Structure 1
């Protein structure tokens, strides 16, 4: 279990899965063998599985403890969710809640859930199955959703030719939260408290948000899918197959990297391989990740 100190706060990685899960050349249209040769010393084995040609992407949440509050950032895929279109995520059974308990927090002790966007692998544990119904997992929490993302996927979901949105996750992992009155919609830039701000970072989805954190002079940026993989630090022009707005995705990615390189904020992604976080340095006309610990 990875725990990161951020001033008086801590951020603990709550793992759902960490395995080779997407074919690299399909995930990144710009993927090429030269990149593997150039970055082989750090890329293998924690970020790329050479034998299969698959990226090794983690799927995890960050449990942020600050000021007596427990905040969960992005909630992975979830258990018992029908995802036939993505077999590795279909009807999962993982000890995610047990891992959360090991970090010292039970579901009823979560004060806030923040979803950087509303894709299937960032909303799943928002709900759990209870006697055949999807109910909020964290019943005492406010769930922070981007209004832009919510309205976009609500429209997709109601279109019989396009829905259900996000493989069904909008219906089983987002709507039950809204119907329970637990959603807090944010639009544009917003200050949530003395430690947390959200800013629009559109591109991957229309309403993707960057979550900026500061405590005791320590800064972090929870980036969701603004960056999926550490190679995008070197290649911020690389988009994944899942980025809806290619141009804005590149702009938001570069803005996130500039923020981290300029402010010293620790980059806190949801899919990077070990050691799962990094600082960002300017290098030439671009950027480079600076990892700490063993990886």
Structure 2
């Protein structure tokens, strides 16, 4: 279990699952084979399996202890979910809550849950099943969900996109939180405490967001799925196959990397395996990774 401290904020990483997820160039179609080969020395084996040409990913949650609160950033896939269109996420059984307990976090200790966006692998442990019903996993927490993403998955919304499995994700991971009165649907920006602020980062989904951390002289940004692979740092015009508005996603990615490089923010994506936190700098028209935390 990995921990780092930035200013007055302690960060613990909880990995629900890690391994090969799919063909590398299917996940990041814009990154040609030469990009992966030329950077094999640091992409393999943590981010790329050359032998099978597989993208290596992690499903993980970041636990932040900040200003006396316990904050979870994204909640993974969850157990026992019906996901017919994403079989990698279906009927999983992991000891995620046990891992949280090992990190010293009981469900009732969690004050805030941040869903950087509403995709199945970021909201699953919002809830657990009890006596055949889905209920909030963290009974005392406020769940921060971007209003635009909530509308995109709510089948009753005029803005519902009707993506495969969205109705299931909404039914088992979002609606129970709303019904319990624990959901906070936010727009524009949302300040959590003196160190943490949520900001819109649209493109990957309509309500995709990032969480900025500023404490003392330390800076970090939890970017969710704005980045899936380190090759997107080298060339931010490369989207993942999951980005819903490709032009907006690429513009958001470049904007966030420019700020991270200029302001020395650590970049913390949702799915980087191995060393999950990158230091970046400008390099020509793109960016380079100067170190890992």
Same fold (TM over 0.5): yes
Aligned-pair CA distance for 1:165: 4.7
1:6 maps to which residue?
6
Contact 2:135 2:176 in 1 (8 A): yes
Output the CA distance in 1 between the equivalents of 2:266 and 2:48.
Answer: 22
TM-score (norm 2): 0.95
Do the aligned partners of 2:265 and 2:279 also contact (CA within 8 Å) in 1? yes
- Distance of 2:159 and 2:268 partners within structure 1: 35
Residue in 2 that maps onto 1:214: 214
The 3 A distance-change label for structure 1 pair 128 and 283 is same
Aligned to 1:36: 36
The answer on whether the counterparts of 2:153 and 2:167 sit within 8 Å (CA) in structure 1 is no
Distance 2:157 2:77 in 1: 18
2:274 is matched with which residue? 274
RMSD: 1.8
**CA positional deviation for 1:219:** 1.1
Q: Classify 1:225/1:159 alpha carbon distance in 2 versus 1 (closer, same or farther; 3 Å).
A: closer
Deviation at 1:210, TM superposition (A): 1.3
Contact 1:156 1:163 in 2 (8 A): no
- In structure 2, runs of 5+ residues without a counterpart are none
Q: Which residue of 2 aligns with 1:90?
A: 90
Q: Would the alpha carbon gap of residues 164 and 230 (structure 1) be closer, same or farther in structure 2, given more than 3 Å must change? A: closer
Q: Distance in 1 between matches of 2:106 and 2:247?
A: 40
Q: Could you tell me which residue of structure 2 aligns to residue 115 of structure 1?
A: 115
| Superposition deviation, residue 155 in structure 1 | 4.4
Aligned to 1:135: 135
Residue of structure 1 equivalent to 2:205: 205
**Could you tell me whether the CA contact under 8 Å between 2:151 and 2:157 is conserved in 1?**
no
Match of 2:144 in 1: 144
Residues of 1 paired with 2:166 and 2:129: CA distance? 18
More displaced stretch, 189-198 vs 173-182: 189-198
Residue 187 in structure 1 maps to residue 183 in structure 2: no
Runs of 5+ consecutive residues of structure 1 not aligned to the other structure: none
Q: d(CA) in 2 for partners of 1:217 and 1:234? A: 26
Are the equivalent residues in 2 in contact too, given 1:4–1:10 (CA < 8 A)?
Answer: yes
Q: Which moved more, 1:272-281 or 1:284-293?
A: 284-293
Q: Residue 209 and residue 159 in structure 1: after superposition, are their counterparts in 2 closer, same or farther (change >3 A)?
A: closer
- What SS does structure 1 have at the residue aligned with 2:36? helix
> Given the superposition, is the C-alpha separation of residues 105 and 280 from structure 1 closer, same or farther in structure 2, using an over 3 Å criterion?
same
Measure, in 2, the Cα distance between the counterparts of 1:239 and 1:257: 14
Following superposition, the deviation at residue 158 of structure 1 comes to: 8.2
Secondary structure of residue in 1 paired with 2:250: helix
Shift of 1:87: 2.1
Aligned to 2:22: 22
**Distance in 2 between the 1:217 and 1:279 partners?**
15
Return closer, same or farther for 1:161/1:229 CA change in 2, 3 Å cut-off. closer
Do 1:236 and 1:250's aligned partners in 2 also have CA atoms closer than 8 Å?
yes
Distance 1:31 1:256, change over 3 A: same
Q: TM-score, normalised by structure 1?
A: 0.94
- Alpha carbons of 1:236 and 1:164: their partners in 2 closer, same or farther (altered >3 Å)? closer
Shift of 1:24: 1.3
Once residues 244 and 15 of structure 1 are traced to their aligned partners in structure 2, the CA distance between those partners, rounded to angstroms, is 26
Which 4+ residue blocks in structure 1 deviate beyond 4 angstroms? 155-161
CA shift at 1:229, angstroms? 1.0
SS at match of 2:166: helix
Q: In the aligned structure 1, how far is the partner of 2:69 from the partner of 2:51?
A: 43
